[in-house]
Structure formats: C-alpha cells, structure tokens
Chains A and B, each alone.
Chain A
Amino acid sequence: GAGVSQSPRYKVAKRGQDVALRCDPISGHVSLFWYQQALGQGPEFLTYFQNEAQLDKSGLPSDRFFAERPEGSVSTLKIQRTQQEDSAVYLCASSSLGDPRDPTDTQYFGPGTRLTVL
C-alpha cells in the first residue's frame, strides 16, 4: 500500500521567504510526527499530532515554525521568514496507534523535503 508521502521533495527558498511543507500520512494512521535532520546528524523531533490535536510541540525551534493537521490526516509544516540555519531535511512520520505505551507502534517515515535556504 501507499506509504507516507511528502511534497515538495526539494525546496529552495531565499532568506526571509515563507515555506510550506506537506505530509500525507499512511491512511488511517492516528499519530503524525515531524522531525528535522541536519546534514550529518540524526533526525530531531519537532512536533506530534494525535488526530488533529497537536499534543507536543516542544521541538519547534522558534515561533517561526508552525504545524497543523486540521482534519486529522494531511499535515503542513510552515516556516516563516526562513533563515539559513533552517536548511535541513524535514521528515514526516506516521504510526497507526495513538498509544505511546505500545513500543510496537512503528513510525513509518516519508522521503522528506530537502529545504535549502540561500
């Protein structure tokens, strides 16, 4: 079946531009996560949704970052007034359950959006 999809796959922005990154999770998955992966580093957590509720946004690096999932399926990560340090791969992941106590609730990752800010 279809996995997690993300668009665009590549985005080049001029410093100061706003960008919007889209994630289509696996159909029916309750949980959705956004991670940021800088070059040579492991992914770092940004935010988490259970259905349409944003339950954890502790990883968002500044108030320029905003995420939403209004209908509990597709999610958008928006970055306002992009800076060069925002250049990274933005990964979206989804999992079927909403139970964080269940370690078998595997997170499936999308291919990511590679953002380059000039």
Chain B
Amino acid sequence: ETGVTQSPTHLIKTRGQQVTLRCSSQSGHNTVSWYQQALGQGPQFIFQYYREEENGRGNFPPRFSGLQFPNYSSELNVNALELDDSALYLCASREIGSGITGELFFGEGSRLTVL
C-alpha cells in the first residue's frame, strides 16, 4: 500500500477525444509526477509538479497537461487523443523533505485505451 490512489482504473476513449486522469497522494507528498507505460515497455516520465507548478517535462507534447492542487491531488489531461496514447498512466509522489534520494511512491495506474 503506497498511499497513492488513481482513478479511473480503466477507461476507453476514441481518437480525438480528451481525457482527465486523477491522482491522490499521501499527505505531505507535495511533489507529484506522471509516467506513461506503454505495453511491454518501462515507464516514461511525462512531467512533474511541485507547489502546484510544473517544473519539469519529459519528451511529451503540450497536449499532455496537468494540475496539482493544495490537497495533494493532481490531474493529468490529454487532449486530441491518438491511438499511441493507449497506455497505463502512473502517478508517483514523494515527500519533498526526503530529498533527491527519496524513493517515489506509485499508484496502481489508469489504463487508457484509445480506439
């Protein structure tokens, strides 16, 4: 049990639609990041948020966006869905006081299928 919960667990969308995925982190975990895990691959970093601002992004286009809220929850939004967006989306959080050596705590993910 990592204390990181994600919703929904599964969802199906069609190409061109928009999706919002949600994450609730542990109290005190004030930095959150999102990863995309395509089938058969390792997770890839999308972006991270600290104090409700994006402060780092991986190699993902602007149609991937996010929000972080003061209550340790966050959202990942994906616009104009493409077939290749089908993946497991993982939220991960960390207590900022743990420093750069602290491990990430992952949720169980939201599996998105784009048809």
Q: Do A and B bind each other?
A: no
